[in-house]
Amino acid sequence: MSINTVQDFIINLKFNQIPAAVIEKVKLSILDIIGTILAGKSTEISHIMREYTKDVFRGGKDKSTIFGADFKLSPPGAALVNAFTANALDYDDGYRLVKGHPTAVIFPALFALAEREDISGKEFIEAMIVAYEIGLRAGMIWHDFYPVYQGTGSWGSMAAAAGTAKILRLKEKKILNALGVAEFHASNTPMLRSLIDTSMNKDGIGWGAFVGLSSTLMAEKGFVSSPGILQEERYNDLINELGKKYRLLDIYYKPYACCRWAQPAVEGILKNTSGLKISADEISEIQIHTFKEAIELGNKIPKNTEEAQYNLAYPVAAATLYSKVGVAEILRENYDKQEIVTLMDKIEFIHSKEIQDNFPEYCESRTVIHLKSGEILDSGVISARGVGENNLTKVELENKFRELAKESLNEKKIKEIIYFIDHLDEIKRVSTLSLIINGEKEILDFS
């Protein structure tokens, strides 16, 4: 039965069995998500969640770090706030076939428990890989099993449960129960509603981390679940890949702080305008040929960070005028600039059957800029970064981390964290990471 493969994979995966490319990928993903957390702590949603969790999840024996805060929480509370913060800017990584953000739910849940359990870097890497490989397959299965497209918080709960079950070294039946509880109590996150009426709800990532970790702690205490969707025989082929095919190798990283579905249009703009300085007044029209899910992101002037991220016209306008869509562009100061408003009015969305047929395996757009001079700049059909060899490189990700972390950490501390993650498999206590970030420990004695 396929479920035996799930259990065996969680229990038996060992560091020395893992291909070097997979270990390197996990390290890059950890560095990227720490950067998004450090940058995301300046957002309103992160502030709200810190205040909420401080009231609800604080106790005398708390050991789990809140990035950007001067207090600690229980593991579920820390997972909740750090996961909301990780996705606050929509700058975190993703996986095309689940249309979601794996590391934003996985890392906060696992790190919160790893601090309490005081595990090594190698053990943490093992647990992260278990979470990715179970979670990404759970996401593919979830989207087939349930009729409504749901966000990361749904299947992400099972990713978090799998990884935290590995950390706690749960046995077969308790692993089953943890996964079953995580699925049954997963957050219902109807994604398309969050695009129509944009809010802080987003992908439900915070609750996915909270539910997944809580489900493991419940199963450890003896909570029993009904069978879950990973036990369905129709999905045996996916489950039987475990240990043979590492799907996390196809995780993409974001070069821009906006929804993945808007990013190919941004790429098209940057290709069209490379080396040029174009004002809004010089443009008569911008046409975005794309898939319907991207079109549903809309074109309204954003009023908050979430509306700036879940938008198609706004990041296109920002990329046209500023040649970048980073943290500054997604925060409040640029929303109502007249040049942005003027240009957004000139953007037209066109549904493309060709591009639609390739989605979600490929995330593509074609961007055409019509200048008042009569010149036409046409990107052709172009993909978002992250497909195969077009992913962000290690150097690009380190530079992205520097950019995201610079408001929180000095250059010395940034170098320490990059070094720490690059040598994670040599670290005896993964909890040292939080001490470095908070300035309580100098680099690095590996103890």
Phi, psi of 42 (to 5 degrees): -85, -5
- Model pLDDT, residue 207: 96
DSSP of 327-362, one letter per residue?
Answer: HHHHSGGGTT-HHHHHHHTTEEEEE-HHHHHHTTTS
Helix (H, G, I), strand (E, B) or coil at 104: helix
Stated pTM of the model: 0.91
What CATH number has the domain spanning 262-383? 3.30.1330.120
CA distance 262 to 310: 8
pLDDT (tens place) for every residue of the chain, 447 residues total: 344 689 999 999 999 999 999 999 999 999 999 999 999 998 989 999 999 998 888 776 788 999 988 889 999 999 999 999 999 999 999 998 998 999 999 999 999 999 999 999 999 999 999 999 999 999 999 999 988 888 999 999 999 999 999 999 999 999 999 999 999 999 888 766 666 677 777 889 999 999 999 999 999 999 999 989 999 999 999 999 999 999 999 999 999 999 999 999 999 999 999 988 899 999 999 999 999 999 988 888 898 888 898 899 999 999 999 999 999 888 766 677 889 999 999 999 999 999 999 998 888 999 999 999 999 999 999 998 877 778 999 999 999 999 999 999 999 999 999 999 999 999 999 999 998 887 766 555 444
Cβ atoms within 10 Å of 179's Cβ, excluding its own: 32
- Model pLDDT, residue 124: 98
Q: Where are the domains of the chain?
A: 2-250, 262-383
CATH superfamily of 2-250: 2-methylcitrate dehydratase PrpD (1.10.4100.10)
- Model pLDDT, residue 428: 96
For 175: left if phi > 0, alpha if psi spans -120 to 50, otherwise beta; the answer is alpha
- Model pLDDT, residue 2: 43
Contact assessment for residue 156 and residue 105, using Cβ atoms and an 8 Å cutoff: yes
